[in-house]
Amino acid sequence: MSFSLTLGVLLLLSAAGYWVGRSRAANLVARGSGRLHSLPSYHGFYVALWAGIPAFVLLLAWGVAGDRIVEALVLAGLPDAQTATLTNSERALLLAQIRNEAAGIGFGTPEPFVAAAAERLVELRSFSAWIVSAALIAGALAALAWALRRLAPDLRTRNGVERTLRLAMALCSALAILTTLGIVLSLIFEALRFFARYSPLDFLFGLQWSPQTAIREDQVGSSGAFGALPVVWGTLFISLIAMLVAVPVGLMSAVYLAEYATPRVRSWVKPVLEILAGIPTVVYGFFAILTIAPLVREAGVTLGLSVAANSALAAGLVMGLMLIPFVSSLSDDVINAVPQSLRDGAAGLGATRSETVRQVVLPAALPGIVGAVLLALSRAIGETMIVVMAAGLAANLTVNPFEAVTTVTVQIVSNLTGDTEFDSAKTLSAFALGLLLFCVTLCLNVIALGIVKRYREIYD
């Protein structure tokens, strides 16, 4: 019996448990055995949960571990002569061969003992599936019956159901936390492997970034230096240019939307800004390459400057454009949260609209706006696609916006893509960069959220 069929039966059992439990509870009242502690539907849920959840959890466990158990059984059943001398990887190879044979995608004519094992695997699989399904369904039925027997007017089923729901929700949020933890751990693990080869101090403070390592002795320019400073500088430089665009424009448009625009204008502009926020960053990348970069180059040439094809300016400008809706929509929320009474107070004293905005509304909203800007900054630092397309690959420690710089995210992408061995320093350096990036954005987010939270406390 297949996994999904068993699952279906369990669901049906559960649903049936709900109806039976509910009507049983309703009968209890009708027979006059006192008031119920909980509503009949809670009794229904109680039975349904007992019938469904334990069996479901066991089914999941079998789904995860079942195949391993069966395969271990098959391997154990092989003649000793075949398995005694095998190393671990040979054993895995053999198992794969048996598996393929069982699935009918074997290669050539198998040795007889492999064919036998494959047959045994197929048999065991279907047999175990039947046994497990039958056992689970029987167990579920038993649990259902047990829960039904327990139903009584004073059974606190509501509390039980509430507890179960709370547990379910806690598990879901635990999943998010565990995922985060897993990501961080895997980053740290790989980064540690990198730091085993390259000193962390040299990584953090080195001025030279050229991740190509020599394959042959006589290659040039293949020192394999991993000083992250130029790369980090590139990220900061492009982010700075982006913020110079996004913060003033985003803030002004937020003020306009919140304080000046009529509802009609607002109902048009706000969705357009949100569309701007929804454009995939790849598309911004195209825009940077096809439109902004040539413009920057022309502007530079008119000024008599030499401009790199992938100038920091072009990438920064486009990233700034991308962040405008982000800044403006967050600031708009913050500005709207400033109580109307403050505006009235200023207006009542004879302040003009712009005086009110500059002297009362913006100062009151400032902490929230700072939070919004920091969040935008952490997005700029982590932004990948635009810089992959529009920024350069060469690590330059420069303050000239017309030169090309590279960023942390670009280096991660370029070091991880293409044909590289997985444990070369070049590949591993991507993880160290990722860890660095993660730490920086994490700090920024924590600071930003802290500021936003403190701001909320003042006005709520």
Binding site for other proteins (CB under 8 A): 262-263, 339, 341-342, 344-352, 355, 359-360, 363-364, 458
Amino acid at 251: L
C-alpha to C-alpha distance for 167 and 22, rounded to whole angstroms: 23
C-alpha to C-alpha distance for 198 and 37, rounded to whole angstroms: 67
In whole angstroms, how close is the CB of 353 to other proteins at the nearest point? 8
How crowded is the C-beta side of 428, counted as CA atoms within 13 Å?
A: 21
In whole angstroms, how close is the CB of 263 to other proteins at the nearest point? 7
* Contact criterion met (CB below 8 Å) for 413 and 285: no
Amino acid at 448: A
Rounding to the nearest 10 degrees, give the CA dihedral for residues 326, 330, 332, 335: -150
Taking the least distance from each CB to other proteins, the nearer of 87 and 262 is 262
Taking the least distance from each CB to other proteins, the nearer of 257 and 440 is 257
Taking the least distance from each CB to other proteins, the nearer of 77 and 363 is 363
C-alpha to C-alpha distance for 34 and 20, rounded to whole angstroms: 19
Taking the least distance from each CB to other proteins, the nearer of 112 and 263 is 263
Taking the least distance from each CB to other proteins, the nearer of 189 and 260 is 260
In whole angstroms, how close is the CB of 349 to other proteins at the nearest point? 4
In whole angstroms, how close is the CB of 332 to other proteins at the nearest point? 18
In whole angstroms, how close is the CB of 335 to other proteins at the nearest point? 14
| DSSP SS3 for 107 | coil
Taking the least distance from each CB to other proteins, the nearer of 152 and 351 is 351
Distance of CA 241 to the CA centre of its chain: 27
Taking the least distance from each CB to other proteins, the nearer of 182 and 363 is 363
C-alpha to C-alpha distance for 246 and 39, rounded to whole angstroms: 55
Taking the least distance from each CB to other proteins, the nearer of 369 and 376 is 369
Residue 228 corresponds to which tokens in the numbers above?
A: 């992250």
In whole angstroms, how close is the CB of 27 to other proteins at the nearest point? 52
Question: Could you give the residue ranges of the DSSP H alpha helices within 225-306?
Answer: 229-255, 263-278, 281-287, 293-302
In whole angstroms, how close is the CB of 350 to other proteins at the nearest point? 4
Q: Give the DSSP letter string of 410-457.
A: HHHHHHHSSS--TTSHHHHHHHHHHHHHHHHHHHHHHHHHHHHHHHHH
In whole angstroms, how close is the CB of 348 to other proteins at the nearest point? 4
In whole angstroms, how close is the CB of 345 to other proteins at the nearest point? 4
C-alpha to C-alpha distance for 208 and 201, rounded to whole angstroms: 13
| Rg of the chain in Å (alpha carbons) | 32
Nearest to 408 by CA among 434, 426, 386, 440: 434
Taking the least distance from each CB to other proteins, the nearer of 119 and 355 is 355
